[in-house]
Structure formats: C-alpha cells, structure tokens
Amino acid sequence: MSVPEPTLTTAQELVGAFERLNGFRPSGVWAAPGRVNLIGEHTDYVGGYVLPLALPQQALAAVGLRYDGILSCASTLTDERVELDVADLRPGRVTGWAAYPAGVVWALRAADHDLAGADILVGGDVPIGAGLSSSAALECVVGLALGELNNLHLGRAELALLCQQAENAFVGMPSGVMDQMASACCTDGHALFLDCRSLHAEQVPFTLGDQGLELLVIDTRAPHRLVDGAYADRRMSVEEAAMALGVRSLRDVPRESLGDIGALDERLRPRARHVITENARVLVTVDLLRAGEYAAVGQLMTMSHASLRDDYEVSCPELDTAVAAALEAGALGARMTGGGFGGSAIALIAHDRRDEVERAVRAAFAGRDFAAPRFFRATPSAGARRLL
C-alpha cells in the first residue's frame, strides 16, 4: 500500500490549498520527515538496535478540528477526498492511502483519547515507494497535529508507538517502531541510536561534511512491496528462531554466541545470523561515529548489505546493482536501506566522487534495462514539528 505522491512542499502553499478546499484556514501546519537507516535493518521488530537519520524531505499536514465525528482526508496529488465516520473506524474498513491517517485516529481513540473529527490535507516531498518511510512520516505528522490540537500532551516515544500501532493493527503492516521513532525523534545533524526494546534513544553527531563525505541516496525506483507476506514471513522466522534457541528475542543472542545457531534448521539459521550480526554492526558503527571515524563505517555498511542479500534475502536485482556499481566507482560503503524488496540504497562517498558514482549507477541500470534511478543527498534533519 502506498500514499499519494504529494506535490506541495511549503506550509504557505498548503494553507492556501486547504482554504480553497474547505473555505476556511487550517488551525496549523505540521511536518514530519522521512528517514534513511544508516545501519540496523530488520532488527527493530526483535527489540534490537538501529541507527536512522531524518531526511530533509517531509510530509506536511494542514489540519483543522471538526466536531461532527467526521474525518476528512485529502491530498495535494488528487481531487479525491475521503470522508470517514470516526466512531466507525475499524481495521480493514479503510483502504488506500487514507488508511494511514485513519489508522492514527483509530489508535488515538483506542488509547482513550477523545477525538471528534478533523479536516486533513497532506502534502510534502518524501518520495513514495522508495523505502524512505513516507507512511511513517504521514502517520507522525497527523498524530502530532491531532495531539497538539486536542491537548493530548503526547511524548515523542508515545506518539511513535501510537503511530506504529496504526500501521501494525489498522494498515496491516507488521513493522517495528524504528520508522516512527526516527520521524518523531531525530534532530538536526545527528543520527538516532535507538534501542528498540527500551526505546532509549541517543542523538549521535553525524557531520559527514566535516570529513569531506556525504551519504548518497539511490532511489532504484524498483517497486517497494512489503504487505505481500514477505516481510511478515521474515518476522515470523526470527521469532521461531528465538523460540528454538530458548531466548525472548534474537536481540538476546550476543555476537560471541553466534555458534549457537548451528542447532537451527537450514531455513532459520541464515535469518538468525543476519539479525545477530546486524545488531553487532550497529554497536560498532556507533562507536566509530563517536570517535569521528566516519570513513570506517563504510565497510560495515557493505557487510550489512551482503547479510541482507544472502542471509535475510530481502534485496532485489536493482538494489544489488546500485550497491555494486557504487562500490566499483569508489564508494566507501553501500547498502540497501529500509525493508527491502525494492526501494533505495545508500552509499557513503567522498564529496568529490558523487558525479562518478552517479554516472556508474546510471550506466549499470541502463545496461540491465532498469528504470533510471534518482539520487539525492541524505542530510540529517529535524524530526516532527509544527511549522505554522
């Protein structure tokens, strides 16, 4: 499931569009960013470690309260306007992009927050279907806006958990909490070191420019499919592995005990190996960033991609081609980011190698008749906030 590709990117433009649609000004405009995950993939739903950063691309929402029990959702992409009875919201009853804001309203009401209704117009510029958490950005911007307008005093972790509940139980995507926590909690110039079990979060400085480096996002434009059973299958397999090993979660198996997975069957063993080694890679990466050894992170990124490709089997030809071409062109490291099965890759590169890396990836894609990729720099940015 995807949300519409928003086209308006400024708060003032969104205010004008809201006024034309509804005949009055919104109560405010809020923003929540998409994210890339530097490292720590498919570890959040086992309570493991992740290291995302917020993007400058963000979802916007102009919101006004209403008191007739109706939730009205519209997007700047389409003339479609979806009107829903707040009291009648149930998982499975709303399809398409409107399920995301509707799911947030449902989750808030399920948590005993009294919401009577709202008019919501969404816009922004988070690429859709690129594995950059456009859905989490939409959930968080709606949750933040409704929380503030209804004086709910939600903490950022509480907001993220409610939005995760919307995605898990209402939309039907069994994801972990990383995407929502990144959108809600990241800060400018930092990566978010998150323990997904305790939700303890640390802002780790991530100033690549000082090192002459940048993080390049490669949107492969390969279809990003997660609600087709493959993601859920991976989650079930690591839960089975944990049960077989007698632990609460694979998070509880340290890298030093990797030999214990030899008792698992051939299907579960590589899945467990990825999760255990990926958690370890996150911890080493954080230590390197704290020490200012940014270039050394590249090798861990490349190891992460190999693990995701070979052990977890969530990559695809476009992602593998992007990673291989970037490395051949001199990237310090590269990996897929996000849930996989399409979406985006990231490459850690020297600033003066960007043109060369982009040319190499474009040529590799053309050589395999893939759609032309898109590129942009990942600049660590601020989390969800009110703009107007």
Catalytic machinery residues: 179
Residue type, 267: R
- What the block records as the tokens of 128 is 């859709």
Say how far apart CA 265 and CA 180 lie, in whole Å. 33
For the chain, the first-to-last Cα distance in angstroms comes to: 30
Q: In whole angstroms, give the CA distance from residue 36 to residue 55.
A: 7
Distance of CA 275 to the CA centre of its chain: 18
- DSSP assignment of 169-225, as one string? III-----SHHHHHHHH--TTEEEEEETTT--EEEEE--GGGGTEEEEEEEEEE---
Q: How many CB atoms lie within 10 A of CB 368?
A: 10
Query: Hey, what amino acid is at 364?
Result: A
- Read off the tokens for 346: 């990231």
Quick one: how many helices (H) and strands (E) in the chain? 10, 12
| Cβ burial 86-123 (10 Å sphere, 16+ → b, else e) | beebeeeebeebbbbbbbbbbbbeeeebebebbbbbbb
